[in-house]
Amino acid sequence: MTPSGVQPDVTDTDTRTPVVAALAEDLDADIAAVLGSPQGTVKSHISRGLKRLRLLYQGATMSSFDHDPLAAGLAALATDAPDGLLDRVAARWTRVAAAIGDVYVATTDHGIAYVRTGGDDEEFTASFRSRFGRPLLPAARPPAGLLPALRTGRSGGLRLDLRGLTSFEEAVLRTAMTIPKGEMRPYSWVAREIGRPRAVRAVGTALGHNPVPLLIPCHRVIRSDGALGEYVFGSPAKERLLRGEDVNVDELHALASKKIHFLGSEATGVVCFPSCRNARRISPSHRRGFRSLAQAEAAGYRPCGHCRPGAGVS
């Protein structure tokens, strides 16, 4: 007898192979349907798929349930999808205003996972699915804290979903998050901060893979020679963001053209990166430029405790 009380038309042969084959076809159809479904239907697809599992396995003999724990377990799945399952399966997207124009933002149940500019809804959805392999549905509203973070350039309180990154990439990005708004650090500084001083090129690659630009401010990382360097949204966007944070880009370019990469204060004996908040306070009459940190230290200057210029042009 089957669990429903109706004797099925079966032979003594093992029925699991055709049942599993039919089940696989059924799930493939469900998965395909989910990926193309509009908002609000994914949960119903999951529920129907779970119920079909039970119906399929009701075609097996009771003895197959007794001897096959997998079959018995799957047959017990006749239930609605639990609350919250949809958000564990699908991410949500929204489009919001930012300093460089509108950006698309995707959020999972672990936090904000992806930020990109340009294109349209379909392009962003395709890009997200290609990178993360998850369906993406429209969100009713932006995630909490996103708009203030984009407006202020401070995202320390946001939940970010950085799963899928290597430990090196995550270390690079979390170090970039420590760079204050309106300041810049060279790639070599990031490499030193994570304990990999020779991995400068790899640091640049990791920043280029930043899934959440603007929220992790990789635009604040520049080349050791003072050039702004590349950026995931393009060099013009990088310069626009820095100017929007009141970085004096023109002065920094002028200093770099003279090969001045550090500024020291004759009044305090401290040497800083030129964009450091302490460097901005040095009066012109007490300001002294240096090509390298070693040159500044040889002149009796000590590194700033705020910007920690322990790496850079040597």
**Tens place of pLDDT for every residue, the chain, 314 residues?**
444 444 444 344 444 444 444 444 444 444 444 455 554 455 555 556 555 555 554 554 444 445 555 555 555 555 555 656 666 678 999 999 999 999 999 999 999 999 999 889 999 999 999 999 888 999 999 999 999 999 999 988 899 999 999 999 999 999 999 999 999 999 999 999 999 999 999 999 999 999 999 999 999 999 999 999 999 999 999 999 999 999 999 999 999 999 999 999 999 999 999 999 999 999 999 999 999 999 999 999 999 999 999 854 44
Domain boundary among 37, 66, 86: 86
pLDDT of residue 87: 63
Same domain, 248 and 179: yes
**pLDDT reported for residue 156:** 82
pLDDT of residue 55: 56
Q: What percent of the chain has pLDDT over 70?
A: 71
Residues 248 and 171 both lie in one domain = yes
Strand 91-98 and strand 136-138: pairing? parallel
Q: What pLDDT is attached to residue 134?
A: 87
Which of 236, 252, 268 finishes a domain?
252
Same domain flag for 145 and 102 = yes
The residue range of the domain holding 47 is 16-86
Same domain, 135 and 186: no
Distances 267 to 183, 271, 275, 278, 305 between C-alpha atoms, Å: 22, 11, 18, 12, 16
Model pLDDT, residue 151: 93
The per-residue DSSP string of the chain comes to: --TTS------SS--HHHHHHHHHHHHHHHHHHHHTPPTT-HHHHHHHHHHHHHHHHTTS-HHHHHH-HHHHHHHT--SPPPTTHHHHH-EEEEEEEETTEEEEEEEETTEEEEEEESS-HHHHHHHHHHHH---EEE-SSPPTTHHHHHHHS--TTS-B--TTS-HHHHHHHHHHTTSPTT--EEHHHHHHHTT-TT-HHHHHHHHHT-SSBTTB-GGGEE-TTS-----TT-HHHHHHHHHHTT--HHHHHHHHHTT--EEEETTTTEEE-TTSHHHHTS-GGGEEEES-HHHHHHTT-EE-TTT---SS--
Residue where a domain terminates, one of 86, 104, 138: 86
Tell me, yes or no, whether 141 and 215 share the same domain. Answer: no
pLDDT tens for residues 236-248?
999 999 999 999 9
Residues 283 and 231 in one domain: no
pTM of the model: 0.73
The per-residue pLDDT for 125 is: 93
Whether 5 is in a domain gets the answer no
In whole angstroms, give the CA distance from residue 73 to residue 71: 5
Active-site amino acid positions: 218
